[in-house]
Amino acid sequence: MQWLEGLWTKEGAGIDKNAPPLTGLALFLDIIKREWWEMVKLNLLFIIASLPVVTMPAAMLAMARICVSFANDENTYLLRDFLEAMRKFALPGTAFTAVSGLLISAGAYATVSYAGALRLQLIYSLPFAISLAVTLFLILVFAYATVLMARQDPPLRETLRQAAFFALTRPLPMLAALGFVVALWIAHILFYPVSVFMPATINFSLGMFALCFAARNAVAQKGLPVPEPAGSST
């Protein structure tokens, strides 16, 4: 049974210290190449942990915690780090996700409503544009805040302040990451049933990694602290 234990508890792959540093898309693809099997296991962990539904927010933030480690090339012990992060984010993660989901849903409902009214009267073009911009901004704030919560432990108010700052000053990297996530699910739909196993193997963890990688440079440039993930070792 030692091989089964090692499958979940061993450290992830490292990198050659003498290799030239990679950046941008090359670094993104290199990390995926090194960590793809860990991402598959992480995807499976997220699905299993989310089965009770109420645990999904904590599982999502735990997955983000691991993906931040992948992006920063930090040591990870997948199962231990994931479970510790789930316990940590059980209450704050659930509250944060519930509030964010309600706000984004309200914005999306207003946008769709104004879009329908716009077809009848052009006077609704301004409310439609405002609701669309606000909803998109809330999505960016939520995406950045998810990564920030997984990356560090500031008060929620400070997390939202930083997330709003990044959403205003660095929207393009996160928009690209969100577009990548959407593309993953569109590919799943278009190539079904060939792609039937995509959600079970990679979609969730790869999508979250894309968000964490997009926030990596923005957070680093602002000089925010980067503590070791829960349970990781140097």
pLDDT (tens digit, 9 = 90+) per residue, 29-63? 888 998 899 999 999 999 999 999 999 999 999 99
- What backbone phi and psi angles, to 5 degrees, belong to 99? -65, -45
Most confident of 71-85, 174-188, 217-231: 174-188
- The reported pLDDT for the residue numbered 208 is 94
pLDDT of residue 18: 64
pLDDT reading at 96 higher than 70: yes
Residue 128 reports pLDDT greater than 50: yes
CA distance 159 to 155: 6
pLDDT at 24 over 80: no
234 pLDDT band, cuts 50/70/90, is very low
Alpha-carbon span 7 to 117, nearest angstrom: 55
Can you say whether residue 75 is alpha, beta or left, with left for phi > 0 and alpha for psi between -120 and 50 degrees?
beta
pLDDT, mean of residues 102-128: 90
Between the alpha carbon of residue 180 and those of residues 186, 207, 209, 213, 226, the distances in Å are 10, 7, 11, 12, 25
Closest CA to 78 of 88, 90, 69: 69
pLDDT for res 223: 52
Local confidence band at 103 (pLDDT 50, 70, 90 cut-offs): very high
- What is the predicted pLDDT for the residue at 43? 95
Among 16-25, 86-95, 96-105, 159-168, which is the least confidently predicted range? 16-25
pLDDT of residue 37: 92
Q: Per the structure block, which two tokens stand in for 157?
A: 């108010």
Place of tokens 């670094």: 27
Q: What is the pLDDT of residues 157-203, one digit of tens each?
A: 888 899 999 999 999 999 999 999 999 999 999 988 888 888 889 99
- Name the pTM for this structure: 0.81
